[in-house]
Amino acid sequence: MVASLFRFRIATAEQLRRLHAPDSSIEKTRGRLRGLRERGLDEELVLPQSGRAKGRLLTEHGARIAAAFPELADIPAPRPPGDREAFTFTLYHRLAVVRTHLVFLTDARKRGNSYRPFDFVPEVTHRFAEGKEGTVRPDGLLHYGRTAANGARVVHLAFVEVDRATMGGPRPAAKLNAYARHRATAPLPAGTRAGSIEAVQGGRKPLWERRHPVFPRLPFVLTGTGQAGFANRANDLEIAARTPYVAKMLHSVPAGVAKLEDLETDSAGEDNWWPIADPRRPQALVGADRHQALSSATTLTLTPAPDSGRGGHQGVRHHSSML
């Protein structure tokens, strides 16, 4: 629980129960949290406009202790809330990120797949160019494992974006463009001059390959939008997907959008993901699906689905999950 609060900054008692002890009672979880509070490791914060519901966050003492945990070696330490009033404005986004993580975790447990509480790493910054526009910072980097039908180990990576409809519709579309730029960035090796024979013969390697074996998938999770708001944001993403830069990426990188409420009601692995790329073309998956190993590729054919009340937005559904 201490490690999860270090990673996610804040979580409710019920979220912590579902993360680490889904078969136990909420009373047992609250008892463990009381023990942490008595030792000065965590504290409560009443969530605004929530009927006195409470979130849990680490104290400075708790954060110092957790920073020594090996599973948190690459996670930046949470900053103390400081101005509590200002801190509350970020609470619901952080809690929505935990909700999204729980969707994948609950589904993986049902399916017997390999996805555990610490297989979601929040807010990892990837810098590919100078300036503010030269970075992408997904809400989480997800590592999801499964065993394929042939017994091979399959691992999927995903940059997860969570949008609570607090930003204008163009903002998620701008993020999609930033991911396309990140994927296309391939600097010359150190000591290689532009225009030299080495550069012309293909000395460049994509920057993302320094961190990942394949470029992560791009699930966009929306919440608090309503049907019309969801349709508008999905349309903004699809318009961005038509630009040559983004379209080139989406030929080989699966990208989809879903409502968090639908995922929580149904499943992260069912037909709740709407593809962002042009649904009239087959989408080649980089990485693997449930039948292939990590380095292989396959084709997923997208077929039309009913409108399903998206405010007139016409789309299709995947016939397998984003993962």
Mean pLDDT of 69-95: 79
Q: Which residue has the higher pLDDT, 95 or 165?
A: 95
260 Cβ neighbours under 8 A, 6+ residues apart: 96, 99, 100, 103, 162, 221, 222, 223
pLDDT of residue 303: 28
Tell me the C-alpha distance between 258 and 263, whole Å: 7
CA-based nearest residue to 257, from 217, 311, 221, 230: 221
Cα 322 to chain centroid, rounded: 11
pLDDT of residue 278: 57
pLDDT of residue 205: 81
pTM over 0.85: no
Q: What is the pLDDT of residues 123-159, one digit of tens each?
A: 888 888 887 778 899 999 999 998 888 888 889 999 9
CA-based nearest residue to 234, from 280, 323, 173, 302: 173
Tell me the C-alpha distance between 185 and 207, whole Å: 6
Cα 170–Cα 160–Cα 240 angle in degrees, nearest 5:
30
**93: how many CB neighbours lie within 10 A of its CB?**
14
Q: What is the pLDDT of residues 227-275, one digit of tens each?
A: 888 888 888 899 999 999 899 999 999 999 999 999 999 877 667 888 8
Split at pLDDT 50, 70, 90, the class of 304 is very low
pLDDT of residue 51: 72
Q: Which residue has the higher pLDDT, 198 or 54?
A: 54
Q: What is the pLDDT of residues 168-221, one digit of tens each?
A: 767 888 899 999 999 999 876 655 555 555 544 455 788 899 899 999 999 999
Asked if residue 1 has pLDDT above 60, the reply is: yes
Asked if residue 222 has pLDDT above 90, the reply is: yes
Answer yes or no: are the C-beta atoms of 18 and 30 closer than 8 Å: no
pLDDT of residue 82: 63
Cα 227–Cα 230–Cα 236 angle in degrees, nearest 5:
145
- DSSP E strand boundaries for the chain: 11-12, 42-46, 54-58, 120-122, 126-127, 135-136, 140-147, 153-163, 218-222, 255-259, 274-275, 283-286, 297-300, 303-304, 316-317
